Chains A and B, each alone.
Chain A
Amino acid sequence: MITFDRVSKRYGDVDAVHELSLEIPSHEIVIFVGPSGCGKTTSLKMINRLIEPSSGVISIDGTDTSTVDVNELRRSLGYVIQQVGLFPHQTVAENVATVPRLAGWDKRRIVARTEELLELVGLPAAQYATRLPAELSGGERQRVGVARALGIDPNVLLMDEPFGAIDPIARERLQNELLRLQRVVGKTIVFVTHDIDEAIRLGDRVALFSTGGVLEQYDTPEELLAHPASQFVEDFLGEGRMVRRLSLITVRDAPLAVINGSLPPIEKVDADATLRDALDAVLRAEDGRVLVVDSERPIGIVDADVIRRASR
């Protein structure tokens, strides 16, 4: 668990981060989101002390981070940035081996670990290990960045707009891969973005900041969308808040209508799809009713009423 206790960062008279108190539970993805300049990066960099707080305490599993050796601290926290910052003079394998080498691992162990990490991020070592960063696409580079950050299996991963510079289609794939990766590795991930959709998609919890580094709301994506705590939050969430919320609810969990004697609907939707997909099917269906199937077995019916009730 990472704890911010009344942490502030001032530049001159201006607060970049203002009295931030926050608990980041272990093994969860917590998103820092907000408009540009609201202090997301500053908050993140105070965790690995690339920026030192002006006041307040940040602790990890109860240990005040200011009391430990700064380089030891950083090696225990994976760090991924938007520009990736791969070492252009080193191969992919050498880049990934950076932290194991700093930690003094022996050669055989480093080679094995490097291969394992490249496989984990979907870049087969046989094909990628000896390439230089210049020979990779943007998406591949960012995967190497993630592999490098996981070098000595840190418990925490700090990610600053890692997919910000990547085109929308590749970004969605990387987001899915991050979620898949997280199911395997179960890290505590602090993830910065200015994109509310990315925040809702990836976050177990979302911390929404406003300018001046003020924490406006810290909640699950569902709660954030259902109950914005302020006008600022509501404005930042923008239009389509209810529709967005539907993408967080699986059809199976909605209060489905029962299938009675009459003719079953022709349109079908999978029980594991989201209510957003279901809404799409409802709009498509002649009679506005869609059959929900759980691996081909019908389990209920979804229509506009069901969706409305589920979204409350």
Chain B
Amino acid sequence: MSTLRYILDNWDTLRPQVLTHLEIVAISILVAAVAGLALGILAARSERFAALILAVTGIILTVPSFALFGLLSIWFGLGNPPVVIGLILYALLPIVRNTRAGILAVDSAVTEAARGMGMSGQQVLTRVELPLALGVILGGLRQATVMIVAIATVGAAVGANDLGQPIFSALSRDTGTLEQVLAGIIPVAIIGIFADVVLAGVQRLLSKGRVAVAAT
């Protein structure tokens, strides 16, 4: 209760932090979705490219966020830019991996029939493969979103005015309180859960009759 009290009392400070957090996550996920989709399609077409891109995006994911944001701030300065770029890099792996898996899971008889009826490669992709892979692709997008909503808090360390700020300022001062930390954590959790539920709903809605592949 005291946390809710704290949040309400400090809403003027927290409000811009919530908005910045949402903005950072939204931009990152949009760019990552477009890039990840393209890379995932290429990865479905070429085994060698798949091995390369999955290794690279996998390695990126092992770099601690604190270090990655710090590194990126050397080139992109402090504030939101290094955070957005870092989050895009983190979000790539689940999107690329699921896009590839979703396309490869399409029954080869279906794509053969499509080609046999005279669809071009482009038409097979847009009319058959992507619609059928959509559920799996959305699964990757969902994972990526939930993940970067949480990681974005670390961006406060390189100057992004997001929901990491109340957490960091509480931890860096003797006067920091638990309420202050929770004032950052709770909105992050709410955003994360909300994004997860909405994307899960969309996924279910669009997956009717489509390839069922566990979104790992």
Pairwise interchain contact B209-A86, C-beta atoms closer than 8 A: no
Q: Mark out the residues of chain B between 193 and 212 whose CB falls within 8 Å of any chain A CB in the assembled complex.
A: 208-211
The interface size bin for chain B is: 20 to 34
Task: Say yes or no: is A84 at the interface (Cβ < 8 Å to chain B).
Answer: yes
Chain A, 72-87, contact with B by CB distance < 8 Å: what is the 0/1 string?
Answer: 1111000101011111
Expressed in whole angstroms, the Cα–Cα distance for A86 and B107 within the complex equals 10
Pairwise interchain contact B113-A85, C-beta atoms closer than 8 A: yes
Inter-chain CB contacts under 8 Å: number: 67
| Of B112, B118, B131, the contact of A85 (CB 8 Å cutoff) | B112
Task: Say yes or no: is A125 at the interface (Cβ < 8 Å to chain B).
Answer: no
Chain A, 37-49, contact with B by CB distance < 8 Å: what is the 0/1 string?
Answer: 0000000000010
Pairwise interchain contact B118-A71, C-beta atoms closer than 8 A: yes
| Of A75, A81, A89, the contact of B118 (CB 8 Å cutoff) | A75
Nearest Cβ on chain A to B108's Cβ, whole angstroms: 8
Task: Say yes or no: is B120 at the interface (Cβ < 8 Å to chain A).
Answer: yes
Identify the interface centre among A72, A89, A99, A102: most chain B CB within 10 Å of its CB. Answer: A89
Chain A residues lying within 8 Å of B116, measured Cβ to Cβ, are 48, 50, 74, 79, 81, 158
Chain B, 116-127, contact with A by CB distance < 8 Å: what is the 0/1 string?
Answer: 111110010000
Pairwise interchain contact A85-B119, C-beta atoms closer than 8 A: no
Question: B-side interface residues toward A, CB under 8 Å?
Answer: 107, 109-120, 123, 128, 131-132, 208-211
- Enumerate the 3 nearest inter-chain pairs by beta-carbon distance, A residue then B residue, closest first: A85-B113, A83-B109, A75-B118
12 further interface pairs, Cβ-Cβ under 8 Å (given A71-B118, A88-B107, A158-B116): A48-B116, A73-B118, A79-B113, A84-B109, A85-B112, A87-B113, A87-B114, A98-B114, A98-B117, A102-B117, A102-B123, A132-B209
